[in-house]
Structure 1
Amino acid sequence: MEAELWLDYDPAARQLPGTALGSATLRGRARADVTELHGAGVRCVRLPEPVRLCPDGPAESARALLLVREATSQGLVVIWTAVCEDGCAGRRLFHHLYPPEQVLGAADEVAAEWRARYFPSKCIFRRGPGFVEVRDRRFGTLELFTIDDPGHLDLVEALAEGVPAADVPPDVRRDFGEAALITEQAGRAWWLPLRVRRWPFPALTV
């Protein structure tokens, strides 16, 4: 997957000599790729190809969404365009991700609301000894989930990079799906919440 890279968040600063790093081809795991970019000083990423949000999206779109999730988690600015033709963008499933510049196929207010209501750490998870806690504000009120069942816990890390949906046990697939903690694209299920790296606000706000 191709991505264009800059060393600064600010649009004006990105015009300065030496700030643009050109394009890179990302072929590894999403978390490792973004961690490496962040460590190299990258603070802005642009995905030149539109990213489809709908469940029938191709594997390349699912891969792009994993990168957007990891970049959002690292605090990077992401310049991207979403595509939605079945109304999924309006259901706020992805509204914890850095907002796209536009959502093709959706009403203008969908992208506007996404941008207006976005804040860092809107849907996050943290791992403790023997549990995972998810704090989710995508749908307005704070929803808390504590995952401590071994069968569910074992799949969280695998789902972070996506696994064949058919390989997810039916009870785990149902529970995570009903809680909107996973989505499925191109036959693969993947984890939606961001990995928390630091609290941007007091914990009770997040």
Structure 2
Amino acid sequence: MTGGQVVVDEPLPLGTGGRGAADAVRFLRECQSRALTVRWVPDRDALPFDTGLLHHLPPPAPRPASPGGSGASGGSGASDEAAVWRSRYAYGLFYHRRGPDFVTVMDRRDPSAAARFTLDRPAVLDAFLAVQEPTALDALDATHREAVALLADERLVLVTRGWVVALPPRLRRWPVPCTSV
């Protein structure tokens, strides 16, 4: 589906970390995968992880001004982070494509350090595919936990309070001309 819009009525539980944050990231990732526009706000102003990991996902909407307050532009660090996220967001900054026995990941979240990864080692590939769904770290065997640590070092997964979820969406609409990749 393209051209659709999703409006989330309740704040997404990113600020709590853990399973709720992993589920929220998966939701945003899947919306990105389908090129859906999402209007949402986080449950808290501060997030327990680096929001730069998420700049490829639909950013949070500005918070409405509170009565007698200054709203989202009140100068808080969290509001500044959300504004940076909104300014850096673009469709196709970070995604993966699947092949037989491998996954290729393109990461352009940081333009000065763009990277392409090929995940073809069986343990790493299996772990990446397993954490497409939010997964408790304790549910993974030692080999997959080690692979998740490698993926986390490369900023390909989000690990938060004992839960892990893959970050790059599997795009269904090509973001750039095929000759550019």
- Alignment TM-score > 0.5, same fold: yes
1:80 aligns with 2:72: no
* CA separation of 1:192 and 1:42: change in aligned 2, threshold 3 A: same
| Larger strand fraction of residues | 1
Cα contact 1:52–1:84 (8 A) shared by 2: no
Q: Which TM-score applies when normalising by structure 1?
A: 0.70
Deviation digits for residues 164-186 of structure 1 (CA, Å, limit 9, x no counterpart): 21215232022101001111235
1:50 aligns with 2:11: yes
Q: Which TM-score applies when normalising by structure 2?
A: 0.78
* Shift, 1:154, TM fit: 1.5
Matches for 1:72-111 after TM superposition, within 5 Å = 72-82=32-42, 83-85=44-46, 88-89=49-50, 91-102=51-62, 106-111=77-82
* Shift, 1:86, TM fit: 5.1
Aligned residue for 1:69? Answer: 29
Matches for 1:131-170 after TM superposition, within 5 Å = 131-140=102-111, 141-166=113-138, 167=140, 169-170=144-145
CA distance in 2, matches of 1:115, 1:139: 14
Aligned residue for 2:155? Answer: 180
Percent identity between the two aligned chains: 33
Where does structure 1 lack aligned partners over 5 or more consecutive residues? 1-37
Greater relative contact order, per chain length (Cα 8 Å cut-off, separation 6+):
2
CA distance in 2, matches of 1:58, 1:174: 16
CA distance in 2, matches of 1:64, 1:170: 22
* CA separation of 1:79 and 1:127: change in aligned 2, threshold 3 A: same
Where does structure 2 lack aligned partners over 5 or more consecutive residues? 64-71
- Where in structure 1 do 4 or more consecutive aligned residues deviate above 6 Å? none
**Letter of the aligned partner of 1:170 in structure 2?**
R
* CA separation of 1:98 and 1:145: change in aligned 2, threshold 3 A: same
Deviation digits for residues 133-187 of structure 1 (CA, Å, limit 9, x no counterpart): 1000112231111111011112222210122212152320221010011112352
Cα contact 1:73–1:121 (8 A) shared by 2: no
CA distance in 2, matches of 1:107, 1:158: 31
